[in-house]
């Protein structure tokens, strides 16, 4: 019995000694090691370059750390170095969140030999590692020519072999290491039925330059090709590109709205566009139809509350209405037509909406339409009733007598039925007709860019 009791006591003492001589990782107390460094989820090696000016550095240690001690021991030196420090991974990892570092600048992370663990351990030798931040967009010259030099091609996510082209003031696809520190706004301008994305890119680039905001604005003009203009792996569409229809390629069905979703998703990467605050989707004529319908339909705006979205609908002739009421220009009243079959079909209403809207109810779409910032940019002289204006289909003519009045009537609808709820505005451009260049280079539009 005494032998057994002695064995129990000896065993207990051995466990006490083991617990005293080990920290939480079960190793000797006289050892403190750095297990590894990473920056923005990639290995941080001494001398690494093209590091984003905002991000995170993680330093993993072999022991549990003391937060206050680590704050005193770790420094990030360099021009305008601002950072916060926290502990993760049960206290053994230092997370350094930095922001607003200067572009093209070298920074050094240093750890001195002061005690930093809960048991007062320190590194055997002081430690330092350096990195250099990426250049800013201010170091690049924007491409504004509207020529092939400004044309870029991206691979459509989730669709191997499918590509889509767009014009851009900066190379945002191939130059994957560049940080666009100065870009605060992106404008995606959508072409009309002629699919002349190059011309629209030039119209908008000129407008942005004229407003004095070219240095901090990224201009993109997507190119929705038809079958004749497509080649290789290019996606192409029939005329339903302007209302969210799927591409016509054999075996591939990608909504035109999905393309803009992917562009916005690329722009929303904070490590590439850390200062981006605004995204504007603008279009004229058929492009305006796209802007209005994308604005009410897209799912991407709700996933990026940090960005301010707006939709500029310039001289549109095809509008989506939340219900079956239409404006009678003769009486000045809204009423429900009874003699036009299909006038509530997409793109005029919810029925037979494209596959992009699968899973969304009419109520949800109305909620988005009411809440989203929409600007009806209306040329007061866009009253021509010949040419491309649809004056034969009753669903179209119910919208108004011409493009100018169709825009007025759409705005009047929200003023009447959603008076204090809608986030819409009407901006008239005096003396301008159906002319995209004049509309986007008008004083009224330039005012929207600088307000």
pLDDT for res 30: 61
How much is the pLDDT for 82?
83
Q: What is the pLDDT of residue 2?
A: 37
Domains of the chain: 24-134 (2.60.40.3710), 138-450 (3.40.50.1820)
Q: Other C-beta atoms within 10 Å of 275: how many? A: 18
pLDDT of residue 10: 37
Rounded Cα distance between 74 and 368, Å, is: 47
Task: Look at the alpha carbons of 207, 211, 215, 216 in this order and tell me if their dihedral is positive or negative.
Answer: negative
Give residue 304's pLDDT.
97
71: left (phi over 0), alpha (psi -120 to 50) or beta: alpha
Give the tens place of pLDDT for each residue, 253-269: 999 999 999 999 999 99
pLDDT at 40: 81
Sign of CA dihedral 77, 275, 299, 164: negative
At CB < 8 A and 24+ separation, what contacts does 396-400 make?
A: 396/317, 396/318, 396/348, 398/326, 398/337, 398/340, 398/343, 399/317, 399/318, 399/319, 399/326, 399/348, 400/327, 400/329
State the pLDDT at residue 8: 38
Task: Please state, as a whole number, how many other Cβ atoms lie within 10 Å of the Cβ of residue 103.
Answer: 19
- What is the C-alpha R_g of the chain? 30
Q: For residue 141, what pLDDT is reported? A: 87
Sorted by sequence, the CB contacts under 8 Å of residue 16 that are 6+ apart come out as: none
Q: Encoding tokens for residue 318?
A: 């095809």
**Low-confidence stretches of the chain (pLDDT beneath 50):** 1-28
């Amino acid at each position: 019995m005494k032998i057994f009791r002695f064995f129990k006591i000896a065993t207990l003492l051995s466990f006490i000694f083991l617990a005293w001589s080990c920290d939480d990782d079960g190793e000797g107390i006289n050892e403190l090691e750095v297990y590894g460094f990473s920056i923005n989820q990639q290995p941080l090696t001494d001398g690494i370059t093209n590091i984003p000016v905002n991000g995170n550095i993680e330093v993993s240690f072999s022991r549990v750390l003391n937060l206050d001690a680590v704050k005193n021991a770790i420094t990030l030196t360099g021009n305008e170095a601002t950072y916060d420090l926290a502990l993760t991974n049960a206290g053994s990892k230092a997370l350094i969140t930095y922001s607003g570092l200067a572009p093209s600048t070298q920074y050094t992370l240093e750890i001195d030999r002061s005690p930093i663990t809960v048991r007062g351990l320190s590194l055997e030798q002081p430690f330092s590692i350096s990195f250099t931040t990426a250049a800013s967009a201010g170091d690049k010259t924007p491409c504004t020519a509207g020529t092939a030099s400004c044309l870029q091609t991206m691979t459509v996510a989730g669709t191997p072999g499918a590509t889509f082209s767009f014009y851009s003031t900066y190379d945002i696809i191939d130059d994957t290491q560049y940080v666009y520190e100065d870009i605060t706004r992106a404008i995606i301008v959508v072409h009309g039925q002629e699919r002349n994305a190059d011309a629209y890119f030039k119209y908008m680039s000129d407008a942005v330059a004229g407003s004095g905001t070219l240095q901090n604005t990224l201009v993109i003009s997507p190119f929705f090709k038809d079958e004749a203009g497509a080649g290789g792996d290019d996606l192409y569409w029939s005329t339903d590109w302007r209302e969210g229809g799927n591409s016509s390629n054999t075996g591939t069905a990608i909504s035109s709205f999905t393309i803009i979703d992917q562009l916005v998703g690329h722009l929303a990467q904070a490590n590439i566009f850390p200062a981006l605050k605004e995204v504007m989707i603008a279009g004229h004529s058929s492009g305006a139809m796209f802007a209005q319908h994308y604005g009410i339909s897209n799912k991407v705006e709700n996933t990026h509350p940090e960005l301010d979205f707006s939709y500029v609908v310039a001289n549109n002739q095809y509008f989506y209405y939340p219900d079956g009421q239409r404006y009678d220009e003769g009486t000045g009243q809204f009423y429900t037509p009874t003699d036009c079959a299909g006038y509530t079909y997409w793109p005029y209403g919810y029925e037979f909406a494209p596959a992009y809207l699968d899973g969304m109810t009419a109520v949800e779409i109305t909620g988005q339409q009411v809440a989203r910032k929409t600007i009806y940019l209306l040329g007061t002289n866009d009253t021509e009733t010949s040419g491309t204006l649809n004056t034969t289909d009753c669903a179209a003519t119910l919208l108004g007598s011409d493009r100018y009045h169709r825009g007025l009537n759409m705005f009047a609808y929200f003023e009447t039925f959603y008076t204090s709820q809608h986030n819409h505005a009407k901006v008239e451009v005096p003396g301008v007709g159906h002319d995209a260049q004049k509309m986007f280079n008008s004083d009224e539009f330039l005012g929207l860019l600088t307000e």
